[in-house]
Amino acid sequence: MKTSIRRLIGALVIGALSLGSQFAMPAANASWCKPAPTLSSSTFTQKVTYSNGANFGYYSLPTGAGTLSNYQTRIGVYKGEISKSNMTSVYARFGLLGNQRTFANSVPNLQTYVNTDFIGANNMPYSAVISGGALVYAPATGSIGDPARNGTTRVLGWAKTSFSESAGFSMPAPLTSGALNFSVSGVNLKSIPVNSIVAYTSNNSTKAIPRGQYAILVSKNKVVATYLKGTTIRPTFGTLFQATGLAVANLKRLTNGKQATYKMPPLTKSSLVADTVSPTGYVQIGNEKLKITAVNFVGGNSSGATMYDSNFGTATLETIGAATFAVDNNGVVQKVSSSRGIRIAVNSTIYTHVFQVSSPQSYLVARLTVGQKLTVLNRYSSANHNTLVSASGRGSILLKDGQNVEDCNGTSEEIRPRTVIGWNEAGQFWVATSTMGISWSDNLYRLGGSTIHQMGVWLKQFGATQAVSVDGGGSTAQFVTINGVVSRQDLPENEWIRDIPVGLAITANG
């Protein structure tokens, strides 16, 4: 009876969550989630530490040790710092699948590689893929990765934020003098926060700067001047530090002649983000825009056009639209079929971009002539206004602001291989997998591992506050470079590996 009641309550909670009810509570809070052991009491095997401080190792849990399964469990964990790392989307030509070992070996100076997105019909990933800041794949509206039919798909992205010294920016950095260490909250800010220290440089956009309650000027790592009541004059050399409130007493400890060291933060910052993106590119034809609503996607597209480029597999997989045209790398039209759709093979010289146009906008193709030069803009929008360097499809949010929000329901509560990525506000991140860690006769159905919720518990134990899950089961694979050799670490080297369309690789920054 109690079990039935629990299941009924769980179904109601999950239903409320799926509808976005204001009364919904995370199902992860329910008592029926399978427990997860504290990993600090488990056996840990350190495998490698890299020169940028990143490392990889795995925890070994014996059969039944907290995962409520009949299998042993291995949790492979790569830990890195975002500021010292890069994420790269690794993918096969779309419409085809790629070997994950090949994916891992294709990335120079690889530290770790894992699978990411789920696989839909025609070998298509569920979600958009961004590589080198460019949108290389986007499914059509209403595809399996877009159940809301709003043209957006979920991604895990590596974002890059740029700052301007002259305009000012907020980013903590230390001001040190011997054993003294004070936090400077930003550079060339328009106002000085309460109880804070702000750095001002000669590159500030205005000559007049906000006055602090006390200030010092540092040049060549030495305090060269003090301002008892602060100053409004932009420095012509060195760095001026202005303090307010409780921070004044700290700054007064740095008297004239004292050594003082401050390194301005970098003008770019990387971060991991859970986001949603959509294609927003277009082809300008006369006074109208032909919308690019899908990129390298095999399947129906009921609006705009699907654009195919060199990232696509073969012309035999291409989905024919109501009309077709192709342009070269300069946007010059090379071939037009306005009355019907045809297949045109993408190549590196003449047909670099092929457009299969849906019925609602196919009338625009009739306006094209061979030799006509077009403006082609392939771009995307990010729901959270991020500039994404790389992105790949993700599953659900696993940790949000330190809370485990994964539903303990259905397949998510099964003990299966899992792949997850977590991070925190301090700039640390973790790439983790769970498997049995041993060979097993599984008839191509991976057994053992953990629940998704358990992975969230462990990421939280490591220090993550944000996390997402990606595809698991037979798709889970983790490769790591050890002594210059890329080797599989989630399972033995001789275990089968599922071919998939896309994964992600982590390398050292620079």
User: pLDDT 10s per residue in the chain (510 long)?
Assistant: 333 333 333 333 333 333 333 333 454 556 679 999 899 889 999 999 999 999 999 999 999 877 888 899 999 999 999 999 999 999 999 999 999 999 999 999 999 999 999 999 999 999 999 999 999 999 999 999 999 999 999 999 999 999 999 999 999 999 999 999 999 999 999 999 999 999 999 999 999 999 999 999 999 999 999 999 999 999 999 999 999 999 999 999 999 999 999 999 999 999 999 999 999 999 999 999 999 999 999 999 999 999 999 999 988 999 999 999 999 999 999 999 999 999 999 998 899 999 999 999 999 999 999 999 999 999 999 999 999 999 999 999 999 999 999 989 888 899 999 999 999 999 999 999 999 999 988 887 899 999 999 999 999 999 999 999 999 999 999 999 999 999 999 999 999 999 999 999 999 997
Q: Is residue 302 a part of any domain in this protein?
A: yes
Q: Is residue 406 a part of any domain in this protein?
A: yes
**How many CA within 13 A on the CB side of residue 237?**
7
Q: Is residue 272 a part of any domain in this protein?
A: no
Task: For residues 40 and 158, state if they share a domain.
Answer: yes
DSSP codes of every residue in 393-410: E---EEEETTEE-----G
Q: Is residue 487 a part of any domain in this protein?
A: yes
Residue that finishes a domain, picked among 360, 378, 396: 378
pLDDT of amino acid 65: 78
User: Which residue range forms the structural domain that includes residue 90?
Assistant: 33-162+382-437+454-508
Task: For residues 386 and 500, state if they share a domain.
Answer: yes
Cα–Cα dist 439/495, whole Å = 7
Question: Which residues are 114's β-sheet partners?
Answer: 478, 504
DSSP codes of every residue in 59-105: EEE-TTSSS-SSS-EEEEEEEEEGGGEEEEEEEPPBTB-B-HHHHHH
Q: Is residue 184 a part of any domain in this protein?
A: yes
- Strand-pair category, 180-187 with 197-201: parallel
Distances (CA, A) of 183 to 180, 196, 249, 253: 10, 8, 13, 14
Closest-CA residue to 179 (of 283, 284, 254): 254
pLDDT of amino acid 66: 72
Cα–Cα dist 171/175, whole Å = 13
Task: For residues 494 and 415, state if they share a domain.
Answer: yes
pLDDT of amino acid 27: 47
Task: For residues 285 and 401, state if they share a domain.
Answer: no
Q: Is residue 274 a part of any domain in this protein?
A: no
CB 89 within 8 A of CB 128: no
Cα–Cα dist 222/258, whole Å = 6
Cα–Cα dist 26/252, whole Å = 49
Q: Is residue 120 a part of any domain in this protein?
A: yes
Domain count, the chain: 4
Task: For residues 328 and 344, state if they share a domain.
Answer: yes
pLDDT of amino acid 195: 98
Dihedral sign (CA 35, 38, 39, 43): negative
pTM of the model: 0.88
Distances (CA, A) of 453 to 33, 40, 152, 414, 418: 7, 18, 26, 10, 10
Task: For residues 124 and 152, state if they share a domain.
Answer: yes
Task: For residues 9 and 127, state if they share a domain.
Answer: no
Q: How many helices (H) and strands (E) does the chain have?
A: 4, 33
Task: For residues 124 and 210, state if they share a domain.
Answer: no
Task: For residues 373 and 387, state if they share a domain.
Answer: no
pLDDT of amino acid 479: 98
State residue 174 phi and psi, 5-degree precision: -85, 145
Cα–Cα dist 269/257, whole Å = 33
- Tokens at 171, concatenated: 């980013």
Task: For residues 18 and 54, state if they share a domain.
Answer: no
pLDDT of amino acid 32: 79
pLDDT of amino acid 441: 84
Q: Is residue 309 a part of any domain in this protein?
A: yes
Task: For residues 403 and 502, state if they share a domain.
Answer: yes
- Tokens at 505, concatenated: 């690789």
Task: For residues 331 and 374, state if they share a domain.
Answer: yes
Residue that finishes a domain, picked among 333, 355, 378: 378
User: What b/e string do you get for 114-123 counting C-beta neighbours within 10 Å, with b at 16 or more?
Assistant: bbbbbbbeeb
Residue that finishes a domain, picked among 266, 301, 333: 266
